[in-house]
Every structure is written in C-alpha cells, then in structure tokens.
C-alpha cells in the first residue's frame, strides 16, 4: 500500500455512493478502510478497484457477492493467461533447439 489515503467522507461524496455499499465491499475484503486518528480513509491503491466495483454495481446492477465472484474470475483469467504466455515462450525455446 502506498500510504496515500482519501478521506472516507470525501470518497462517498466524490463517487456519490451509499456508505452501505462501501461497507459491504469492506466486509468481504474487496477494499480496505483505514481508521486513523478518529478519521476513516480509503487507500489510494484501492481507488481504481473501487471505481470498477462502482461501475459494475450501479451501471450493470451486479450485487456485492457478484462483484466478488467477477473479480475472482478475472484474476483467475489473468493468471491463466500468464501461464499460457509462459508455456508459449517455453515451447518456442524448445522448438528452436
């Protein structure tokens, strides 16, 4: 984490989201809300994910559990694509021998 934080109340105002939505994302571990000196913050590192989750929820009407499943599936696809790329490179190497 970068250490840079956005004030929680500012996040709610800027993104025009309900607090319950952010709390639900935090409850299942998709974002991290930091309590510090009687204030709440969201790490800047979480903001791009938060923006994606907001779009999925408000534009595509995907609930929080669906967001978690979709995020997990996308991470799995990225992992599998990396494995395919690695195997292709390995195959190229062996074909060149």
Alpha-carbon span 66 to 68, nearest angstrom: 5
Alpha-carbon span 76 to 92, nearest angstrom: 24
Q: Once rounded to an integer, what is the mean pLDDT over residues 8-18?
A: 94
* pLDDT for residue 8: 94
pLDDT over 70, % of the chain: 97
Q: For residue 15, with 0-12 CB atoms within 10 Å meaning exposed, 13-18 middle and 19 or more buried, which class applies?
A: middle
Q: What is the pTM of this model?
A: 0.83
pLDDT digits (tens, 9 = 90+) for 40-87: 999 999 999 999 999 999 999 999 999 999 999 999 999 999 999 999
Q: How many helices and strands (H and E) does the chain possess? A: 4, 3
Is residue 35 within 8 A of residue 72, CB to CB? The reply is no
């Amino acid at each position: 984490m970068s250490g840079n934080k956005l004030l929680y109340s500012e996040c709610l105002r800027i993104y025009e989201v309900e607090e319950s939505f952010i709390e639900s994302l935090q409850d299942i571990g998709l974002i991290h809300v930091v309590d510090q000196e009687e204030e709440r913050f969201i790490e800047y590192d979480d903001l791009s994910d938060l923006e994606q989750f907001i779009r999925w929820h408000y534009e595509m009407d995907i609930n929080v559990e669906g967001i978690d499943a979709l995020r997990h599936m996308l991470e799995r696809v990225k992992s599998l694509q990396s494995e395919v790329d690695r195997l292709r490179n390995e195959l190229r190497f062996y074909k060149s021998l």
